Structure 1
Amino acid sequence: MRNILCYGDSNTWGCRPITQFGVNERYGPDVRWPGVMQAALGATYKVIEEGLNGRTTVFDDPIMGAHRNGKTYLAPCLETHMPLDLVIIMLGTNDMKPRFAGTAFDVACGAGALLSMVKNPVGGWVGDLPKTLLIAPPPIGKLTTLSGVLEGGHERSNKLAGEMERIADMLGSPFLDAGQHIQSSPADGVHLEAEDHLILGQVVAAKSQEILN
């Protein structure tokens, strides 16, 4: 059995595009991209969903809560699910919020800090160290019902994939630019339509097999 951890934000959790601000509805397990990935990989793989709405790479959120900091929860999460063969990280969209004032490079460095934690886990690790895959989320759309929360994010997020690829290369991690395959929903500019979950799940499944085989 190959164990794969998907560590992300609302797009890993499966949040539907928000047409009315503040309403977070969730796609079913078979629609969310980790579920699609599980179906594509089959019974010899176990795909573990660890998505949280509002999760950042390394920032405490003064509004949504410090527990949204992806760095704070990653270590216990890794130990909870070990042994792991592959850890997939897809974060960065929430880091684009103006209250964090992060550049694309800052966000990529935050993702790099998480990759480093996976490669150097604390505590008594069981099994071999997992391999990693860093995924750059698709750019934030221009037209969004979340524009007050993510104002200016479109321009900065367009630079994120390039910066993340550089960080992944420096740390010896495979990389995937989700924006080459899918786009954020025009409904809110942030979340994914069901068809994009389907595409992403299939793409990540193929990439995971490439990494693990």
Structure 2
Amino acid sequence: MKTLLCYGDSNTHGSSPMTPDANWFRYGPDVRWPGRLATLLGDDWHVIEDGLPGRTTCHDNPFDGPHKNGLTHLPVALECHAPIDLIIVMLGTNDLKAHLGLSALDISKGLRALLQRIARSPSGPSGAPPSVLVVAPVPIEETGPSAESLTGGAEKSRRLSNLFASVAAEFGAAFFDAGTVATVSPIDGVHLSPDAHLAIAEAMAKQIESTY
């Protein structure tokens, strides 16, 4: 059985769209895309979810804490779940937050830092690095309770696909653009509906089955 680690943020965690009063819940494992992916891939794969709401590529969060830094936690995840055949990296949405002041290019540099760390990791089979599938997150909309904190983020989010594809190519990683099969919920402009989770899982399953 092969091991697949899904490393992401709230859309990997399965956070529902946030209502105007900032309430949300976590979808069940049969709704979240990693759980649906596990069902689609079947018994040949062990799928591990590691999704943290608010996780960035490589930046501390001054409001919620340094544990939101994806690069800081990555070595723990790699060692904890080794040997890992494939890691899916789906981050970048939280890097769009206005207080970070990052350009789309800066966000792609955060992805590069993650891939550099994975490339040095002995957490794959036989002490080699795991294979990587880079996922460009679904572009956001500036609406709902998070709109102000994401000012300017919608335009940047639409530039991430091409930038992430280029970074993935640098490292010989596979690439998938989640925005080609799903859109964010109009309720909060960031999170995904159950149908979007399913669409992403189905597209990823096809790519994984044809590649690995």
Q: Does 1:145 align with 2:145?
A: yes
Give how far 1:23 is off.
2.0
Which string of whole-angstrom CA distances, capped at 9 and with x for unpartnered residues, describes residues 124-183 of structure 1?
985442100000001111433210221111011111111111111112111111101101
State whether residues 75 and 122 of structure 1, in contact with CA within 8 Å, keep that contact through their aligned partners in structure 2: no
Q: Which residue of 2 aligns with 1:90?
A: 90
The letter of the residue matching 1:143 is: T
Give the corresponding residue for 1:184. Answer: 184
Whole-angstrom distance in 2 between the partners of 1:176 and 1:142: 23
Alpha-carbon distance in structure 1 between the residues aligned to 2:145 and 2:186: 9
Distance in 2, Cα, partners of 1:127 & 1:64: 34
Query: What's 2:78 paired with?
Result: 78
Describe how 1:1-213 pairs up with structure 2 within 5 A. Answer: 1-121=1-121, 127-212=127-212
Opposite residue 60 of structure 1, the aligned amino acid is D
The AA in structure 1 aligned to 2:91 is L
Structure 2 unaligned runs (5+)?
none
Identity of aligned residues (%): 43
Residue 162 of structure 2 aligns to a residue whose secondary structure is helix
Which whole-Å CA distance do the structure 2 matches of 1:69 and 1:126 have between them? 28
**Aligned partner of residue 148 in structure 2, secondary structure:** coil
Q: Higher mean Cα deviation, 99-108 or 52-61?
A: 99-108
What TM-score, normalized to structure 1? 0.95
CA apart distance, 1:211: 2.6
Query: Unaligned 5+ residue runs, structure 1?
Result: none
- Tell me the number of residue pairs that the alignment of Structure 1 and Structure 2 aligns: 212
Distance in 1, Cα, partners of 2:124 & 2:18: 41
Distance in 2, matches of 1:54 and 1:21, equals 18
RMSD: 1.6
**Structure 2 CA distance for partners of 1:192 and 1:202, relative to 1, 3 Å:** same
In 1, the alpha carbon distance for the partners of 2:195 and 2:124 equals 40
Length-normalised TM-score, structure 2: 0.95
